Amino acid sequence: MATTLITGGTVVNATGRGAADVLIDGEKIVALLTPGSTLLGTDLSAGVDRVIDATGKYVIPGGIDAHTHMEMPFGGTFASDTFETGTTAAAWGGTTTIVDFVVQYAGENPLEQYALWQEKAAGSCAVDYGFHQILSDVQDSSLHAMDELVKEGVTSFKLFMAYKGVFLSDDGQIVKAMQKAADNGSMIMMHAENGSVIDLLVQQAVAAGNTSPYYHGITRPWQAEEEATHRAIMLANLTGAPLYVVHVSAKQAAEQIALARDKGQNVFGETCPQYLYLSLEEQLGAPGFEGAKWVCSTPLRSRAEHHQDHMWNALRTNDLQLVSTDHCPFCMTQKQMGIDDFSKIPNGIGSVEHRLDLLYQGVVTGEITLERWVEICSTTPARMFGMYGKKGVLAPGADADVVVYDPKGHTSIGLGKTHHMNMDYSAWEGFEIDGHVDTVLSRGSVVVDGGAFHGRAGHGQYVKRELSQYLI
């Protein structure tokens, strides 16, 4: 087992920062040391297999992206990143754990689908991975499966209030799953948009000839998100289930979450980089079919209505707890399925490689502190989804998932292949990033260093998660 010493850097955890050297033995962190520590008079760096010089840089716990969709079957096609390409891109961006979604469509057996996803991911991942489970039709067999899956380390279940005929659960089905979650301690994750309202608005828009990508945003208004978020909160309140609202984009939905939290309910919310930076007007409203690149749900919101500012504020105040990407990439040929009708554009944006960098810009501009950056990108995802201690912190006993981040570095995101995600364009083209992911270790192995990839498919291991460690 190799030993590694990361010297000279500023170690940043969610709880604070300080000068410290990180000593790694094999896959684990064994000590944080006063810089220049000796052992019985001997310089420690002389006795280890590898020294990584982090002078002038931040040393942070590896990022955890708690919401990805590698090779997801969706919208008549598959998300373009495989577990191999997607986790390789994640590693490049300093993310050392992903939590992906097993998909169960109506009529499918959740346990069979879980086994299928385990098979897809096994031997393919460059970094560690866990699973949430999507439930589409909540049958008695699904409730039994929820108990079995918790034993397997799948301790969170995503339900949908939109996509009728595909994923949507009605309120009765939602309550059934929530009752089970309240009983077995798991978390209900909710795609909170009013599907019936959206389906009607889409029908009306297409009938009126409003078929461009811009209308994806217009037909999924914030009222549909606020209403569904409120309804999900009330159903969770009724049942006692913990509720985690995914991809929050509307300020009114974030306010519903804040209100419930203020009353002491176990309600949580994530937002995504696209809702912090991009907008209905600039991206979805781009000329021609260009806006298709940013068709995702919930949709990008109006900048004139200041949703983006509100998301930053909610992250500062802990009204929202963390940032995931909802990484669900599609190439342009796939997006073109909706060239004549926005409702046929596969929904999703690819960002798994850029989350740490994009959120670090919030540190640069003073939106969040360095510690909060680490908290929303790593520590809270670990606690929220039952991985804390092993993941999400630099401390003795934790997995040696470590990122050396250079605040003086710079990254320009260009067209196409300045990234490693399997996409033929970038949703982030033109973004200039202050800061740079220099070195990434996954369980003690260097996977990225000096602009080169040293990882391999199959290095990543399944993380059997505990119940949430974030509940009140």
Contacts with ligand URP by CB under 6 A lie at: 69, 191, 247, 296-297, 326, 328, 347-348
* Residue 406 binds which of Zn ion, ligand URP, none (CB < 5-8 A, kind-dependent): Zn ion
Q: Which of 122, 171, 116, 179 is nearest to 147 (CA)?
A: 179
Q: Which does 136 bind (CB under 5 to 8 A by kind): Zn ion, ligand URP, none?
A: none
By Cβ distance, which residue is nearest to ligand URP? 347
Q: In this chain, which stretch among 43-51, 121-129, 168-176, 405-413 interacts with Zn ion, using CB under 5 A?
A: 405-413
Query: Distance of alpha carbon 305 from its chain centroid, rounded?
Result: 25
Report if residue 225 touches Zn ion, rule: CB under 5 A.
no
Q: Which is nearer to Zn ion, 263 or 410 (CB)?
A: 410
69 or 465: CB nearest ligand URP: 69
Under the criterion CB under 5 A, does residue 57 sit at the interface with Zn ion? no
CA distance 336 to 342: 9
Q: Is 407 in the site for Zn ion (CB under 5 A)?
A: no
Q: Could you tell me the two tokens for 389? A: 């201690």
| Start-to-end CA span in the chain (Å) | 39
Which residue, 326 or 438, has its beta carbon nearer to ligand URP? 326
Count of residues that bind Zn ion according to CB under 5 A = 6
β-bridge mates for residue 16, sequence order: 13
- Tell me the closest approach of the beta carbon of residue 31 to ligand URP, in angstroms: 40
**Minimum distance from CB of 150 to ligand URP (Å)?**
22
How far, CA to CA in Å, does 312 sit from each of 277, 307, 320? 10, 9, 9
Matching residue, tokens 């031997």: 123
Residue 348's binding partner among ligand URP, Zn ion, none (Cβ under 5 to 8 angstroms by kind) is: ligand URP
Give the residue with the Cβ less far from ligand URP, 273 or 348.
348
Instruction: Compute the least distance from the CB of residue 113 to Zn ion, in Å.
Output: 16
The binder of 347, among ligand URP, Zn ion, none, by C-beta within 5 to 8 A per type, is: ligand URP
In whole angstroms, give the CA distance from residue 298 to residue 281.
15
d(CA 447, CA 439): 8
- Least Å distance between CB 443 and ligand URP? 28
Among 225, 326, 357, 367, binds Zn ion (CB under 5 A): 326
Question: Which residues 181-200 are close enough to bind Zn ion by CB under 5 A?
Answer: 191
Please identify, using beta-carbon distances, which residue of 272 and 440 lies nearer to ligand URP.
272
Is 79 or 413 the residue whose CB approaches ligand URP more closely? Answer: 79
Choose between 191 and 230: whose C-beta lies nearer to ligand URP: 191
Evaluate whether 249 touches 242 at the Cβ level (below 8 Å).
no
Tell me 126's DSSP state.
S
296 is in the binding site of which of Zn ion, ligand URP, none (Cβ under 5 to 8 A by kind)? ligand URP
In angstroms, give the least distance from the CB of 312 to ligand URP: 20
The values of phi and psi at residue 5, to 5°, are -125, 125
Nearer to ligand URP, 247 or 420 (CB): 247
Q: State which of residues 81, 128, 375, 438 lies at the interface with Zn ion (CB under 5 A).
A: 438
Regarding 327 and contact with Zn ion (CB under 5 A), the answer is no
Nearer to ligand URP, 59 or 345 (CB): 345
* CA atoms of 244 and 267, how far apart (whole Å): 6
Gap between the Cα atoms of 357 and 218, Å rounded: 30
The answer for 439, left when phi > 0, alpha when psi is -120 to 50, beta otherwise, is beta
Residue among 10 and 308 whose Cβ is closer to ligand URP: 308
Q: Please, which residue, 32 or 64, has the CB nearer to Zn ion?
A: 64
Nearest residue to 153 via CA among 133, 135, 136, 139: 133
- Cβ-based burial of 30 (10 A; exposed 0-12, middle 13-18, buried ≥19): middle
Peptide bond into 298 cis (omega under 30): yes
CB of 166 to ligand URP, least distance (A): 10
If binding is defined by CB under 5 A, does position 409 make contact with Zn ion?
Answer: yes
Helix axes 307-317, 251-262, angle to 10 degrees: 20
* CB of 406 vs ligand URP, minimal distance in Å: 31
Written as one letter, the residue type at 335 is K
Which 8-state DSSP code applies to residue 332?
H
Nearest approach in angstroms of CB 46 to ligand URP is 50
Pairing of strands 95-102, 128-134: parallel
CA 202 remoteness from chain centre: 28
Of 199, 406, 424, 449, which lies in the binding site for Zn ion, with binding defined by CB under 5 A? 406
What is the Cα–Cα distance from 194 to 107, expressed in whole angstroms?
23
What is the enclosing helix (H) or strand (E) of 226? helix 222-239
Binding site for Zn ion (CB under 5 A): 191, 326, 406, 409, 436, 438
